[in-house]
Amino acid sequence: MLCKNGGFMEDFKLYGVRIDNLTKDEAVHRSLCNTGEPCVVFTPNALMLERCRRDAALAELLNCASLSLADGAGVVMAAEKMGTPLVGRVAGIDFGAELLSRAERAGLRVFLLGGGEGVAERAAQSLIKKHPRLCICGTTWGYFDREGEENRHIISHIRACRPDLLFVCMGFPVQERWVMDNLQHLTDIRVIACLGGSLDVWAGDIRRAPAWMSRARMEWLWRMLRQPKRLARLPEIVSFLWHVPQKEEIKAQNSL
């Protein structure tokens, strides 16, 4: 939303979910400057917000984040339709990549949690090739019992590795629920970021769309072509954009 002075508002709400209107660099800086408690970062996309439209409990879950970043062309398009333009899209994987660059320079320790068997380890190997001085202090997969003894073991393992940054990549809403359910045990961690399928990309199991497709807001098409099972999600994305209120509707509601 444009302010009276012509600048952008810092955040706005879409389907009850707060979205922080920040550039990638601003988001990374703010996450690392957070003091006193972990900075929890969620990255809502169109599919996540459509589910929040139908389930207020999911919106409440996303609003627990310290930072909520717009991930995906659908969110950017929705913001424009509402007359609340974003300064830019901040994809979770791009946010994570920039954090890793900062971590390498600053000597911060990183823990990777998520993916299937061996994915986090392969992602770590790939990332260390790109960032030779990066300290990845631990990895573990994301398919574990999140309520029993195995979960307690995972928490103990993470704490023993003493990470500054924890990347949780288990998909929505599993990763967000896990973070909030266990946050009281992770208070020594500086940044906890939920990054969906980022580990699969870093491990080389999934390819990202070419840069020109991302700039053209067609990354969703690339994903569906590469992963046909994603076609089943298309109706939800269409529903998301269809239900976004237009600027004129918002003005009319505010005038009542």
Instruction: Please answer whether residues 111 and 165 qualify as being in contact, where contact means their C-beta atoms are separated by less than 8 angstroms.
Output: yes
Helix axes 24-33, 92-106, angle to 10 degrees: 50
Place of tokens 């896990």: 178
User: What's the pLDDT score for residue 1?
Assistant: 34
User: What's the pLDDT score for residue 225?
Assistant: 63
Q: Which long-range contacts (CB under 8 A, 24 or more apart) does 96-102 make?
A: 96/167, 96/193, 96/195, 96/198, 98/24, 98/25, 98/28, 99/28, 99/31, 99/32, 99/165, 99/191, 99/193, 100/127, 100/131, 100/134, 101/131, 102/28, 102/32
Which residues are within 8 A (CB) of 247 and not within 5 positions of it... i.e. 6 or more apart? Answer: 81, 82, 83
Token representation of residue 39: 């900075």
What is the pTM (predicted TM-score) of this model? 0.87
Instruction: Please answer whether residues 70 and 44 qualify as being in contact, where contact means their C-beta atoms are separated by less than 8 angstroms.
Output: yes
Token representation of residue 162: 């003493």
Q: What does the pLDDT look like over 64-123, one tens digit per residue?
A: 999 999 998 889 888 888 888 888 889 999 999 999 999 999 999 999 999 999 999 999
Euclidean distance between CA atoms 67 and 78, whole angstroms: 19
The separation between CA 78 and the C-alpha centre of its own chain, rounded to angstroms, equals 18
Distances (CA, A) of 252 to 46, 84, 242, 246, 247: 25, 15, 18, 10, 9
User: What's the pLDDT score for residue 248?
Assistant: 47
User: What's the pLDDT score for residue 62?
Assistant: 98
The domains found in the chain, sorted by start residue, are 92-206 (3.40.50.2300)
Euclidean distance between CA atoms 185 and 61, whole angstroms: 18
Token representation of residue 142: 């994301």
Report angle CA 35, 41, 46 to the nearest 5 degrees.
155
Helix axes 46-54, 73-81, angle to 10 degrees: 60
Which residues are within 8 A (CB) of 239 and not within 5 positions of it... i.e. 6 or more apart? Answer: 50
Which residues, given as ranges, of the chain have pLDDT below 50?
A: 1-8, 248-256
User: What's the pLDDT score for residue 207?
Assistant: 77
Token representation of residue 236: 């939800």
